[in-house]
Amino acid sequence: MQTSSHQAGSIALVAAVLAILACPAYAEVTLNAGARLSNDSNVNGSPDTPTKANQQSDNFLSLSASAVYFKPLDDAQTNYFIAQAGAMTAYYNKFDNLDSSMLMASAGFYRQLSPTWSGQIMGRGFRRDTRQNERDSNGVGASLEIKKQLNQTLWLKGVADYEDNKANLASFSYTGATYGLNLGYLPRPDTFVNLGYSHSARDFKSLVAFNATTQTLFAEVTERMSKNWYLNGGYAYMKNDSNFVGTAYTNHVLSLGVSFSY
């Protein structure tokens, strides 16, 4: 769910930011929904060595819906309060034990620091349900984003995120931190390209210390098809490792989706 969550969240955030830039000085709400079909080349997380023969691919469908509320806090519209509530669910074709759903709510502040610099800080709470009761969890998290507008069509954004996930079975609980860098580009008014890298680390609260890391390179393209409809596609390369020898593996995730924002 990590990749699909990020992609669905990025579409909702792009729509919200575009609305913020265009809106007059009063509160606004945007409604977002999306469907995305993805293929994961190594959905079972089988190690790359000594052989990749045990790696299995699977297709999964992600559905998402959210409402984003934003309100300017000053006449100059440089400070905004933002709140979001949403739900996501994923259905796998073969590995249906990986099916899951999540409810999430978040709130925070956006600030235009200068003509070219802006920042956003958000806190969130979530509830995740899976086919495996011991993995069902709830948790909290926070994120910080700093964005530099390089010119009218190009920007760079740094992201830092922290999450505390408490599962029904303690060994599936973890704390995790993610750091990322995104390059956004508007080659045309209705085309958005997002390139990025992220590094995440999770410390699981198992009896034997287990620490997992994931490095992700991704590329996403979003095309506005009409006033409220978007077509989006992406590719992600994920390199996973842990403190246990022989567990390193890679994933290639391809996805294509459609989203709606109003």
Place of tokens 């609980």: 173
Q: For the residues 66-71, what does the mean pLDDT come to? A: 93
What's the pLDDT tens digit per position in 200-251? 999 999 888 999 999 999 999 999 999 899 999 999 999 999 999 999 999 9
Q: Quote the CA–CA distance of 194 and 220 in Å, as a whole number.
A: 5
Q: Quote the CA–CA distance of 218 and 238 in Å, as a whole number.
A: 9
pLDDT the model gives residue 76: 87
Q: For the residues 146-170, what does the mean pLDDT come to? A: 96
What's the pLDDT tens digit per position in 180-213? 999 999 999 999 999 999 999 999 998 889 999 9
Percent share of the chain, pLDDT over 70: 90
pLDDT the model gives residue 27: 67
Residue 246 Rama label (left phi>0; alpha psi -120 to 50; beta): left
- Nearest of 158, 164, 119, 121 to residue 141 by alpha carbon: 164
Q: Is the pLDDT of residue 253 over 50?
A: yes
pLDDT the model gives residue 6: 42
What is the value of pTM for the model shown? 0.87
Q: Tokens for 148?
A: 């530099």
What's the pLDDT tens digit per position in 164-184? 999 999 999 999 999 999 999
pLDDT the model gives residue 8: 38
- Nearest of 87, 126, 123 to residue 106 by alpha carbon: 123
Local structure of 74: helix, strand or coil = coil
Q: For the residues 99-122, what does the mean pLDDT come to? A: 96
Side-chain half-sphere CA neighbours of 86 within 13 A? 26
Place of tokens 């495996």: 132
22 against 158, higher pLDDT:
158
Q: Quote the CA–CA distance of 74 and 199 in Å, as a whole number.
A: 36
Query: What is the torsional sign of CA 192, 118, 67, 182?
Result: positive
* Mean pLDDT for all residues in the chain: 90
Q: Quote the CA–CA distance of 74 and 126 in Å, as a whole number.
A: 30
Q: Is the pLDDT of residue 43 over 50?
A: yes
Q: Is the pLDDT of residue 15 over 50?
A: no
Position 145 confidence tier, pLDDT thresholds 50, 70, 90: very high
Q: Is the pLDDT of residue 22 over 70?
A: no
pLDDT the model gives residue 26: 61
Q: Is the pLDDT of residue 258 over 70?
A: yes
Local structure of 23: helix, strand or coil = coil
Q: For the residues 120-134, what does the mean pLDDT come to? A: 95
- Nearest of 83, 86, 144 to residue 113 by alpha carbon: 144
Q: Quote the CA–CA distance of 60 and 182 in Å, as a whole number.
A: 25
Q: Quote the CA–CA distance of 199 and 179 in Å, as a whole number.
A: 5
Q: Is the pLDDT of residue 7 over 50?
A: no
Q: Tokens for 126?
A: 């979530």
